[in-house]
Amino acid sequence: MRHRLFIPAATALLFALAACTQDELAGDNRLPEGEYPVVIRATGLSVEATPLAAPSTRAAVDGDWQGVTSVALKMGDAVKEYTVTASTDFKSATLSRENDPYYWTSRDPITVSAWCPFDKADITQMPAVKVAEDQSKLADFQNSDFISAENRKVEFNNPTLEFTHRTARVTIELKPGTGFTSVAGAMVSLVSLSADNGNPTAIKTYNASGNTYEALTAPQTVAAGKPFVKVELGGGTFYFRPQNNVVLEAGNRYSYTVKVNATGLTLEGCTIGSWVDGGGESGAAEDLGYIYDSNTNTYTVYNADGLLAWNEAAQKDRSINCTLTADIDLTGKDWTPIGTNFYNSYTGTFDGGGHTIKGLTVTTNDQYVGLFGRLGKAGTVKNVVMEGVQITSNHSLGYAGGVAGFSWGGTIENCSVSGSVSGTVSVGGVVGIQWEASITGCSSSATVKGMV
């Protein structure tokens, strides 16, 4: 009886050994074909502790897996669509495929890539990052995010794949400065961006909360001196231009705190770091006060520093145009009149846009004095209010005017002057003297004094 009992026990042990999987018996980590589907746990995306958006509208850009429904998963030369199932806290997700999934063929690590979004018509290629031009709506902001995990090793016993953002995130916090009590209702854009891969050169930002605005961009470098942040507020347009190159790297967040002043933008602080909080690396920048368009040879000026920069450039090239987009206060600033003799008269177009230049003060021994010293043929000054000028020429043959000391064939339109103008030969509130020139729609309440 004991012998009969022992045989079934031995047989059961043999059956148990036979039932073991092939990988438990083989020494080369091979697994039976078609029995172990590849299921991966997706992590990353820098989960935020405090959501900015309502839970029902959250997406990958908000730092979690809610709203992501599928990804393209590549193994070798093959690419398949995998379903994304977010965890209950949305901090991770499961990547799986019900029909025709990939299978583990051994316990050895596999190399995979994954990305979202993807083109279902051509799922084999990871698309270039191309963001929306208008991200002012939440959905367009969120849909501009691209996530990926590229050429990552995935372990059999811990199949985890960490995703990162392929876009850069820019956050602008506005604060009211001199001349503004509120920045509510501002329109904020990023400009001077790269057009690579069909991307927009300017992006309207999303008003994330309060006075905070955000946008996603393709990785790129915004060159120093180029306008980067554009703020439209109270009928004025203001620009922030970085002093150093801004290198927008994928997965980083660039946070700028900017004060809006009537004379332009000033940078209060800058941090560069992780997707969530901006990190702690400090940055420095300044607003130069102008934009130069080489195609039209025009400076667009919106503060005193910008007007002084145009003045410096116009001393060398007196055909450079200038357009004002804000009132300018030159109180306490040194000004060099443009055009000092017959051979270097100003020949460009200066359009004040109806704005005011306040506090222009010049005392000099030069012969021609004013906002412009000498205005030449083709030279035009229009639509500017000169308020509180203090202009003096001590030259023995001094020509002085609030707009120009001498206009030889130039055009002056719709200008007004207040303050005081003093010279020795020909003096006027708007222009000291003009020859074969045009002056229309102008007025002056300035005190005028001639010494001869």
CB of 278 closer than 8 Å to CB of 192: no
C-alpha–C-alpha distance, residues 304 and 320, integer Å: 17
Tokens of 393: 């020429």
Residue 273: how many other CB atoms lie within 10 Å: 14
SS3 47: coil
Using 70 as the pLDDT threshold, list the residues of the chain that sit under it. 1-27, 47-58, 277-285, 451-452
Residue 433 main-chain phi, psi, to 5 deg:
-155, 150
pTM value is 0.71
pLDDT at 8: 39
Tokens of 9: 């026990």
Residue 378: how many other CB atoms lie within 10 Å: 14
C-alpha–C-alpha distance, residues 268 and 257, integer Å: 5
pLDDT at 149: 96
SS3 138: helix
Q: How far apart are the first and last CA of the chain?
A: 144
